[in-house]
Chains A and B, each alone.
Chain A
Amino acid sequence: IVTALVMYLFAEFDDAANLLAANPDATTISIDEPAEISKNPHGRLQEPGREEDDELLGTDDSDKTELLAGQKKSAPFWTFDYYQMFFDVDTYQVLDRIKGSVFPVPGKNFVRLYIRSNPDLYGPFWICATLVFTIAVSGNLSNFFIHLGKPTYHYVPEFRKVSIAATTIYAYAWLVPLALWGFLMWRNSKVMNIVSYSFLEIVCVYGYSLFIYIPTAILWIIPQKVVRWVLVIFSLCLSGSVLVMTFWPAVRDDNRRIALATVGTIVVLHALLAVGCLAYFFDAPELDFPAPIIPVHNGTTVLTKSQ
């Protein structure tokens, strides 16, 4: 009991110290009820039957990380050490998080299960970078194979598209979480939600949820319309379900319509990204046109692309 009391007092001091330091992450966590800070109650909120080892490890760590958390998050934001906090992940942790984003377990929350108050920026940044180059390279390859053999086709490495891909994907991975976080904070001030996420946790979820698009982009090289659309729907279901299961608990206490609208917008934006990339970077596989029409078709395709 005494240890629990001491732990609670430490949590209170932690709270105050974090509020004073005006640290955005710590402040966000401390808006919730104090139970949010220590992971013990959350271990119990999840179904106790499944993955008890994970939860036990979580509660074990939480005792130590509880004391360390205050020291961890105290570096001012202009020092290098502040940013080092967001890269405090090992290889197996990154791989676990990627696995969790690809195989959504029904009922498990990605943030609670994998991130556990240790959001990292390594995953989102490098997954986005990989995705940018994968889409650009696959698009280029796919166009090459589609137009191969046509007499008027001259291969160009469409390098301009790399910068467009980079802008789009990084904007999606950072601006949408920003908007979503702002929206959730605003709703939080109106309706008391049990679950709320810090900005970095949302960025983390979005970053890891983009991972499924990497193999999808590689498979989009196959110039069959049906295959491409099946891939779109499949990857959208997987990563969309991870996003939905993450954000549903954060809005479910709210007005029914707003909750559904929020979750719907998340899915729609995710779908728009996939469909937009498919449409812009990958030319439509053409059917067998008779010869005279091909140059004209090529010409119009090229003109629309360069617009």
Chain B
Amino acid sequence: FAGLADVSIAEDIPVEGEITVPVGSRSPDEDYSTLDEPVRDTIMRDLKAVGKKFVHVMYPKKSSALLRDWDLWGPLVLCVSLALMLQGGSADSKDDGGPQFAEVFVIIWFGAVVITLNSKLLGGTISFFQSLCVLGYCVLPLTVAMLVCRLVLLAGSGTVSFIIRLIVVAAMFAWSTLASTAFLADSQPPNRKALVVYPIFLFYFVISWMILTFTPQ
């Protein structure tokens, strides 16, 4: 405490100044409020954001746009469309059919949550929703594969169609896994990357399996 004596301000020196927080001048037109804009603008802005992220997934570059402005619209749309397309499979009453809508939904969302928790527990620096966003968006290639499979199955369901479907699903599975790894791997501690990537691999493998084994009635 003795050393602090010389730090104190002497009484004869007046302490003065201004305690004001500089406020930038706010003119009404600079005030950007989204309340008055037409509905079309609002919707188009969100759609454009989602569309931009789709493009990022299809051509994965090391950009942080996907991570910075996360949204869950894209994953929701993809999940619902994938689950809908997996319906109409062989659902005999006495045999096990394919996965029901709820099962696909739960697997995708629950799987994504578990993988996110796993990467956070292992010491990852990515936030919860950012990781969900990336994993959800990277289901896009597999949704495309599902679309292709259904079209191929319309043409026929022989061995040739199976081989085509196998190749398409395998390629899209690899694309999904590589895209999500490209976005997520940087936020992991370096000696645990494989521990984080493996569950992602398993997740997309299960989804690919569901797509590949889809048989129409």
Using a CB–CB cutoff of 8 Å, the interface residues on chain A facing chain B are 80, 83-84, 86-87, 89-92, 94, 122, 126, 129-130, 133, 137, 140, 154-161, 302-303, 306
The A-contacting residues of B in range 193-217, CB under 8 angstroms, are 193-195, 198-199, 202, 205-206, 209-210, 213-215
Query: CB distance A122 to B195 under 8 Å?
Result: yes
Q: Report Cα–Cα, A154/B195, bound state, in Å.
A: 39
Query: Contact between A302 and B96 (Cβ–Cβ < 8 Å)?
Result: no
Q: How many residues of B contact A (CB 8 A)?
A: 31
User: Are B96's CB and A90's CB within 8 A?
Assistant: no
A303 to B194, CA, bound (A): 43
Report whether B96 and A160 are in contact in the complex, using a CB–CB cutoff of 8 Å.
Answer: yes
CB of A151, distance to nearest CB on chain B (Å): 15
In the complex where A84-B123, A133-B206, A156-B90 touch, is A91 in contact with B97 (Cβ < 8 A)? Answer: no
B52 within 8 Å of A by Cβ? Answer: no
Q: Give the CA-CA distance A154 to B180 in the complex, in Å.
A: 36
Say yes or no: A133-B202 contact (C-beta < 8 A), given A156-B92, A156-B97. yes
Bound complex: CA A137 to CA B208 (Å): 12
Q: Which of A91, A129, A137, A303 is within 8 Å of B195, CB to CB?
A: A91
Given A122-B195, A161-B96, are A140 and B213 also a contact pair (CB < 8 Å)? Answer: yes
Task: Please give, as numbers and ranges, the residues of chain B lying within 8 Å of A155 by CB-CB distance.
Answer: 90, 213, 215
B100, B122, B194: residue with the most chain A Cβ atoms closer than 10 Å: B122
Q: What are 8 residue pairs bridging A and B, where the CB atoms are less than 8 Å apart in the complex?
A: A80-B121, A84-B121, A92-B191, A122-B118, A156-B92, A156-B97, A157-B89, A159-B98
In the complex, which residues 154-212 of chain B have their Cβ closer than 8 Å to any Cβ of chain A? 191-195, 198-199, 202, 205-206, 209-210
Judge whether A159 and B97 touch: CB under 8 Å.
yes
Task: Determine the residue in chain A with the shortest Cβ distance to B103.
Answer: A159
Are A302 and B94 in contact, CB atoms less than 8 angstroms apart?
A: yes
Inter-subunit contact A137/B121 (CB<8 Å)? no
Q: Is the CB of A306 within 8 A of B202?
A: no
Known A-B contacts A83-B121, A122-B122, A140-B213; A156 and B195 likewise in contact (beta carbons under 8 Å): no
Cβ B202 vs Cβ A157 within 8 A:
no
Measured between beta carbons, the chain A residues less than 8 angstroms from B206 are 133
Complex contact A157–B121 (CB within 8 A): no
How many angstroms from the CA of A126 to the CA of B215 in the assembled complex?
A: 29
Are A157 and B215 in touch, CB under 8 angstroms? Answer: yes
Would B94 and A306 count as touching, CB distance under 8 A? yes
- Specify which chain B residues have a CB less than 8 angstroms from the CB of A130 in the assembled complex: 202
Closest to B92 in A: A156
Are B210 and A157 interface neighbours, CB within 8 A?
A: yes
